Amino acid sequence: MSGQTTGGKTLYDKIWNAHVVRSEPDGTALIYIDRQLVHEVTSPQAFEGLRMAGRKPWRTAAVLAVPDHNVPTTDRSQGIADPVSREQVETLDANCQAFGITEFRMNDIRQGIVHVIGPEAGFTLPGTTIVCGDSHTSTHGAFGALAFGIGTSEVEHVLATQCLLQKKSKSMLVEVRGRVGPGVTAKDIVLAIIGEIGTAGGTGYAIEFGGEAIRALSMEGRMTVCNMAIEAGARAGMVAVDETTVEYVQGRPYTPTGDMWDQAVAAWFDLRSDDDARFDRVVTIDAVAIRPQVTWGTSPEMVLPVDARVPDPAQEKDEVKANGMRRALEYMGLKPGMAISDIAVDKVFIGSCTNSRIEDLRAAAAVVKGRKKAGNVKLAMVVPGSGLVKQQAEQEGLDRIFLEAGFEWREPGCSMCLAMNADRLEPGERCASTSNRNFEGRQGQGGRTHLVSPAMAAAAGVAGHFIDVCDLK
Amino acid sequence: MRKFETMTGKVVPMDRPNVDTDAIIPKQYLKSIKRTGFGVTLFDDWRYLDPGEPGMDHGKRRENPDFVLNQPRYRGGQILLARKNFGCGSSREHAVWALDDYGIRVVIAPSFADIFFNNSFKSGLLPIVLPEDVVDRLFQETFASEGYALTVDLEAQTVVTPSGQAYAFEVDEFRKYCLLNGFDDIGLTLRHADEIRAYEARRAREAPWLFN
Ligand code: SF4
């Protein structure tokens, strides 16, 4: 790595420094982008822009595309029924073909959610800069990479120049001290962090997640945490490289091999903040105090432990906040003071780029095993993050566990995380969801979303209401 | 990109914090492969009483009379006055395109989400950060007088009220320069193509595994 350690550098500093191509006097830098992921929703206008200006992609080998938002999660042999969705996916296929970009197409086993397939393919590597026209690109920061979402104009900019104009963010360290208790997962950790700093707490920052509880997480868990950095307002979240990272990366299709591998690994171990690095802000969270989390409102910061009660706006002194709470409670159809565990759910969604990896499915299956979906739950669906995750889960027999419990087992994609395909909530329906956003209408107009971990979603599916996964039976 | 010229426009008060991009333009409209036509579905879920789908005749839908954009006194507004953390959530640039297509040229708020803020400049929409107490005052003034309008001067970096009170705002030099001149970022960056190639050559020696 060119970031020769003279001491006092954060992980973010090191990656940033290694990617500056040039700087403007006001501090705006042109930074080099190593990897770009592309999906069908935010790319058509970018390709069109290239075409209109008569430009070509700068470096096609740095780009990987996949359709994920619009793809059906049911039988795909007939293609996509919705003509508008179909056109968008076909436009991606045509653009990738025309510009010579690698694409994992809808019926490719490697197809899946863009933030699942990048790491899975080894396309996501430590120390790289990674962008995608998608805010949850922060996921890839789990690998000690600088990864963030961009808009469509910037997608075009990166395609055309392999660079981006950026100003350096401030740096924040979120240190999660100690170890979490039973039933508490990466999702609960990140929801608790957002509850603590708020959805705008990380605005203007790149967050590094550290501390014992983060180090103890698998790569899947770290991806879950970094995925939701954007829900804390930070464009980028990252975790330092360690043995866990290197072990995950090794042997994947796009991962370096042989001498190149040894050389890469040697460089990657420098991808951590120096002991004397200074952060603009440090937040410390006590892992032991984190309980399984459930959101009650329409913003991820409206989150509480499962054993808490729905808050009362009358107790809130800040008028703007109290109004926000009132509006959220009304939308969510909840009364102040009600126990979270008394909230009954209509649907369960296990999936999304936050929680659709093999470990998430294992955690959910472990809860569901030998139990049945509750009678009041109309639909419980499990949507693997990619074709390869699906295949692996089936080899482990997880699909049968879900099916026997009355859960549905689907084809990979974004699905009901944002309901661009046919999977959605009806007005007023309440969902225990492992996704990342509980905004009004996110999972379907009038739908009510409660964000939880895979184990907690599974528990809600079998109990019919929220319940601490440790209290089940 | 369109040049940003000094403008005076009617203010629309969007009096709630954390307005997310899902609310600004709901996902069903993201299926469009075009950059235009999003104005009629700006704030769709809040603006109409019936559910919207792409391809509908939106002019025939039932408007929600309580929603701010539908109130006669705020129709045709060009400056959106908002609360903190405006534009949070998804990176969809469609949110900016929708505001722009509706006719909004400026959004004023105490804070913005990073990606939205950044996207705005790419379409010539100017996001302005003013202190919370100033934004509060502007809200009160907007509610108090019908047809309330502000003048935004990017060159001078000021927002001026009808009574002549001027509030200064910050903007990055480089962004200001691009916006005032209507420059296309890509064209500017490609002027440095040699530097990009030199960087790649150096980087390929230091980290060859990235250039396989
Ligand atoms: S799973 Fe949800 S959050 Fe993730 S990329 Fe898809 S739509 Fe976005």
Phi, psi of B73 (to 5 degrees): -70, -20
Q: Tell me if A438 CB under 6 Å of ligand 1.
A: no
**pLDDT of A6:** 55
| CA B167/CA A14 separation, integer angstroms | 38
Average pLDDT over residues B92-116: 97
Q: Which two tokens stand for residue A232?
A: 């804390």
Taking CA atoms, what residue in B is nearest to A91? Answer: B33
Residues A447-469 pLDDT 10s: 999 999 999 999 999 999 999 99
Q: What is the dihedral of CA A122, A123, A129, A130, to 10 degrees?
A: -120
Q: Of A382, A346, A391, A387, give the one whose Cα is nearest residue A363.
A: A382
Cα distances (angstroms) measured from residue B147 to each of B12, B99, B134, B162: 9, 20, 19, 10
At A155 the three-state DSSP class reads helix
Answer whether A134 contacts ligand 1 (Cβ < 6 A).
Answer: yes
Specify the pLDDT at position A2. Answer: 40
Q: Say which amino acid occupies B169.
A: F
Full-model pTM: 0.95
Domains of chain B: 6-181 (3.20.19.10), 183-212 (no CATH)
Residue B55: list chain A partners with CB under 8 A: 84
Strands (E), chain B: 7-14, 79-82, 106-109, 126-129, 149-153, 158-160, 166-168
Looking at residue A319, its pLDDT comes to: 86
**What count of other Cβ atoms lies within 10 Å of the Cβ of residue A328?**
21
CA neighbours closer than 13 Å in the CB half-sphere of residue B151: 11
Ligand 1 pocket check for A132: Cβ under 6 Å:
no
Closest by CA to A54, choosing from A190, A189, A160, is A160
B122 touches chain A (CB under 8 A): yes
B208 touches chain A (CB under 8 A): yes
The pLDDT tens digits of the residues spanning A307-328 come to 999 999 999 998 888 999 999 9
Whole-number Å distance between alpha carbons of A110 and A99 = 21
**CB atoms near residue B142 (< 10 Å):** 23
* Segment B57-67, tens digit of pLDDT: 999 999 999 99
Residues of chain B numbered 148-207 and touching chain A (CB < 8 Å): 172-175, 185-186, 189-190, 192-193, 195-196, 199-200, 202-203, 206-207
- Residue ranges of chain A whose pLDDT lies below 50: 1-5
A418 lines ligand 1 (CB under 6 A): yes
Take atom 6 of ligand 1 and give the residue whose Cα is closest: A414
What pLDDT, on the 0 to 100 scale, is given for residue A269? 97
A102 has a chain B CB within 8 A of its CB: no
Report yes or no: B119 at the A interface, CB cutoff 8 Å: yes
Kindly state if the Cβ of A417 falls inside 6 Å of ligand 1: yes
- Token pair 């991808």 is found at A271
pLDDT of residue A7: 62
Residue pair B142/B69 in contact (Cβ under 8 Å)? The answer is no
- Closest partner CB to A135 (pick from B85, B91, B190): B91
Flag whether residue B61 sits within 8 Å of chain A, measured between CB atoms. no
Candidate from A73, A226, A227, A352 with most ligand 1 atoms within 8 A of CB, to mutate:
A352
Which atom of ligand 1 is found nearest the CA of A115? 5
Give ipTM to 2 decimals. Answer: 0.94
What's the CA-to-centroid distance between A428 and ligand 1, angstroms? 22
Give the closest-approach CA distance of A361 to chain B in angstroms: 25
Nearest to B199 among A21, A137, A267 (CB): A21
Which among A34, A48, A199 is the nearest to B210, CB-wise? A34
The reported pLDDT for the residue numbered A159 is: 98
Q: Do B93 and A42 touch (CB under 8 A)?
A: yes
**Long-range contacts of A300-305, Cβ-Cβ distance < 8 Å, separation of 24 or more:** A300/A191, A300/A194, A300/A199, A300/A228, A300/A231, A300/A436, A300/A437, A300/A438, A300/A451, A301/A194, A301/A195, A301/A198, A301/A199, A302/A328, A302/A438, A303/A191, A303/A192, A303/A194, A303/A195, A303/A451, A304/A195, A304/A340, A305/A340
Query: What is the mean predicted confidence (pLDDT) over B182-211?
Result: 95
Spacing, Cα A424 to ligand 1 middle (Å): 14
Tell me how far apart the 2 most distant CA atoms of chain A are, in Å: 64
CB contact under 8 A, B33 and A163: no
Q: Say what the pLDDT of residue A4 is.
A: 42
CB atoms under 10 Å from CB of A317, counted, come to: 6
Query: At CA A314, angle to CA A308 and CA A316, rounded to 5?
Result: 75
- The average confidence (pLDDT) of chain B is 95
Whether the CB-CB separation of A245 and A49 falls below 8 Å is answered with no
Pocket test for ligand 1, best of A43, A113, A350 (most atoms within 8 A of CB): A113
- Amino acid making up residue A255: T
Contact A154 B84 (CB under 8 A): no
